[in-house]
Amino acid sequence: MMPCPLLMLILSYSSVVILNIPGCNTLQDFQYPENQGITNEVEPTNITTTSSSMPITREERLKKMRQRSKDARIFYLQQHMLNTLGWEKPPNISNIMKMMLLRNIDPRYVVRRNTCYHPACVMASTDSLPQYIDRSLWFESASNSLRLFFNITLNQEPGLTITSSYLKLYVKRRENCRCFANNDDATSRFIVSVYQYTKPLRQKNRGRPRKRILDVKLVTWDGDRWVRLSVKDAIKDVVMGKRNCGFEVQVRNLNEEEMDAKKIFNPIECSINSEFDCPGRVTSAIGDLEDDDHTNKSPVLEISSTVTQSIGGLHQVYVGNDGTAGVGSDSYDPDIDQQ
């Protein structure tokens, strides 16, 4: 069996530190046998008192008992590791080897975030849209498209990863639904597409807006429900510093005839905050459709991300004057610490 290098480092010290180390499988299935007597390995200490000494309290006695139990468990663990590796005694590892092993230790933690946004509405202040977007053209009522702009406050930071991002639209309940009639097949289902504007929508490029398609879904219009469309690529662009030019949603029936998206999806509500905490979600069996517990049915942009960070900035390996190796931050001085 090829021993884990970090186990060699642990065994080289007089005390064994129990770690959860990815990639080191020697200790994964280890369980301390509660019924196995190991007190013979650790010499018990008799507690005695003299007339000149203070009597030992119950708390002190329990503390000593817990310490002896801890020492016994550490000793048993060390013996178990040595027996597993086929060794009789801990290895003698040089300080250079310790330094090389410690350099590969990079403790990290991951923070998961879920952030939701409501889009800008026509009744909001002029600050709801950036100046590089034509406001009158953006909220044009004659258009069959649904244009959505979200004021995304998520910025690029070290270790940030966008795991998913969805534009969620609520389909209105269809009146006089004949969803399963043979002559109603063209309107019982529709195709919804979401586009990302790559250039701002302005009067000068009104006839040829620059945009790219992000996601397409075929939706059965048999009742009210949520529809999710992936916009992850667009959010990654915005987080990386590219200009946020908004989204456009288009709807067509199976005959490729354009439908009014504003009549199919719930409208934008202006009496709500643009950024809010995402509620819990219950995903349906279909996968792309789900029933979300939102207090309103306004369009929602949900961004899920993770931030990976090092714990305490541990990245500098040092060797102290006494020959011991360790890991510290840039500002750590082992000589000062030993004074």
258, 327: one domain: no
Report the alpha-carbon distance of residue 182 to residue 188 in Å, rounded.
10
Report the alpha-carbon distance of residue 302 to residue 216 in Å, rounded.
17
298, 315: one domain: no
79, 102: one domain: no
pTM above 0.85, yes or no: no
Amino acid letter, residue 143: S
279, 200: one domain: yes
Domain end residue (candidates: 67, 93, 119):
93
Going residue by residue through the chain, which has 339 residues, state the pLDDT in tens, using 9 for 90 and above.
Answer: 444 555 555 555 544 444 444 444 444 444 444 444 444 444 444 444 444 556 778 888 888 999 999 999 999 998 998 898 888 888 888 888 877 777 777 667 788 889 899 998 876 555 678 888 888 888 888 889 999 999 888 877 888 899 999 999 999 887 765 555 555 554 578 999 999 999 998 887 666 778 999 999 999 888 788 999 999 999 999 999 899 999 999 999 998 899 999 999 998 887 667 888 787 654 443 344 444 555 678 899 999 999 887 765 444 444 444 444 444 444 444 343 333
Q: Are 215 and 234 in contact (CB under 8 A)?
A: no
User: What own/partner pairs with CB < 8 Å and gap ≥ 24 does 280-285 have?
Assistant: 284/225
Report the alpha-carbon distance of residue 285 to residue 231 in Å, rounded.
21
Helix, strand, coil % over all residues of the chain, rounded to 5 = 20, 25, 50
At 301, is the secondary structure helix, strand, or coil? strand
221, 242: one domain: yes
Hunting for tokens 């719930």 — which residue is that?
A: 266
Task: Supply the range of the domain harboring residue 115.
Answer: 111-306
The count of structural domains within the chain is 3
261, 163: one domain: yes
154, 253: one domain: yes
